Amino acid sequence: MKRFKIFFSLLAGLLAISATLTSCIQDAVSTSAADQPTFSTDTVRMGSLLTLGPSPTSRFIVYNRHDKIMNISDIAFRDDEAGQFRINVDGMSGRRFSNVEIRPNDSIFVFVEATLAENGQDLPVNVLAHIDFRVNGVTSSMPVKASGQDVTRLSGDTRFAADASLSPGKPYLVCDSIVVEEGATLSLPAGTRLLMHDKAEIIVHGTLLVTGSTEKPVEITGDRSGFVAASIPYEVMSGQWGGIRFSPTSTGNEIHQASIRNSEWGIILDHCGGSRQAPALILHNSVVRNTKNYVVEAIHSSLTAVGCELSDASLGILRLVGSEHLVSQSTLANYYLFTAIGGPALQFEHLDPENESVSEPSDDDTLPWMSDTEIHNSIIYGLGPDLSHGDLEGLPVTIVNCLLKSAGSDDFNFINCLWDTDPLFGVSREDYIFDYRLASDSPAIGAGDTDRHYPLADTDMYGDSRLPLPTLGAYQQPR
């Protein structure tokens, strides 16, 4: 029995020594030049950044795929003399790090931030730096790319009490709101860019004149760039800023060749009045897309929309309450990404879901509740319903030469329409692609007519002529 005890004691000792030796081997620090780190990406792309402001945080992973400890003797930016970039290595912030160890087959995170200096240019200026990792005498480099955009900052409520015009040079960063006072006109010429901060809005009591061009559209969008997470770009995120609101005193508004994106409510016309001959707003060859509520609401305010893409919203695309409206050569499409679509693309407020006619508001009998609306050569399609519930019979609504999602038939209100027809947009929601141009075999190509042709519809926003045979929707040529 004693022999067995001695044997087991010796065996336990040998096993303990073996474990200790194995641990020492595993804990040994590599000195081989062949043992180098690998990275989760080949380049850190920080996107377009506003100068003088902190950037979003980018990150990458550094891997030790070897069986010994890797000692990174030096981590530092090689070519950032101005100190525009900062890094955080394994929880520690700074610009230079020494003797950072990574356990065998383990990894560390590196986070990168930047505050780029002004560059004195109207257009973005590319900036390139490199993070060097020195291991066993060998240097590996991680390129860091960014684009710095100078801006003119508008802080606090910016009020225009007299006629004024913004410039088409470097963009404006609107930190709070722009207010156009009654009697004043604010002009946004071709090439003007407004970058709207969270909750910023444009409130128009007077007149807004936007005169973009095919080559230089006016751009109004959120001030965030890059990616929300992984491969999701900020460009698909709605609700980044408030929207454009026209108050009851606003008249004579025109928006030509503009791109208005990623807002909370898009455009609201609030009791602005007007008529088809003198609408409260002419919206021409413009894109208004990706809003949390409606893209456009015209509440007792006359709207003329020609050659427009109105797309992607949680509650619906176009909501019309009373007044007179004209929609021609436009695309009303809804493939909103982040929530279920809450209502039809085109909504006439006088009809409720039970097909009952809603009475006029008792506190304002002078305003007609029903909308006098003509829609021509347009597309109304998407994931949700295309039209309000209810029967339009006897109402002053005509939808002529339009492509519709609904399965129906022509009558007094619907004339020469393409029913239950897919326009073949270039949309891939899983890839965050929302291209509302048409495929070359779309049934909407050449399906328009010129009986109700309007001069504003002669060319689309790309400058392509619609004559002599218009294609339905906002875009004449296939993608």
The pLDDT-based confidence of 229 (bands split at 50, 70, 90) is low
Phi, psi of 352 (to 5 degrees): -105, 170
pLDDT at 6: 45
Q: What is the pLDDT of residues 380-404, one digit of tens each?
A: 999 999 998 677 787 889 999 999 9
Which residues, at least 6 apart from 203, have a Cβ–Cβ distance to it below 8 Å? 177, 178, 179, 180, 245, 247
**Mean of pLDDT values over 274-286:** 96
For residue range 13-39, what is the model confidence (pLDDT) as tens digits? 544 444 444 444 456 999 999 999 999
What's the pLDDT score for residue 317?
98
**Which pLDDT does position 369 carry in this prediction?**
55
Domain range annotation of the chain: 38-148
- Section 327-349 average pLDDT: 92
Distance CA 344, CA 314 (A): 10
pLDDT score of 27: 65
Average pLDDT over residues 135-162: 95
Cβ–Cβ under 8 Å, residues 246 and 273: no
Q: What would you measure as the largest C-alpha separation in the chain, in angstroms? A: 113
d(CA 153, CA 174): 6
Say what the pLDDT of residue 371 is. Answer: 79
Check pLDDT > 60 for residue 1.
no
SS3 letters across 129-192: EEEEEEECCEEEEEEEEEEEECCEEECCCEEECCCEECCCCCCEEECCEEEECCCCEEEEECCC
pLDDT at residue 146 greater than cutoff 70 = yes
- Please say whether the beta carbons of 334 and 316 come within 8 A: yes
Pairing relationship of beta strands 433-438 and 425-428 according to DSSP bridges: antiparallel
Q: Which amino acid is located at 231 in the chain?
A: S
Whole-model pTM over 0.75: yes
- Buried-state track 344-374, b at ≥16 Cβ within 10 A, e below 16: bbbbbbbbeeeeeeeeeeeeeeeeebbbbbb
Average pLDDT, the chain: 89
Looking at residue 370, what is its pLDDT? 67
- Class at the top of the CATH hierarchy for domain 38-148: mainly beta
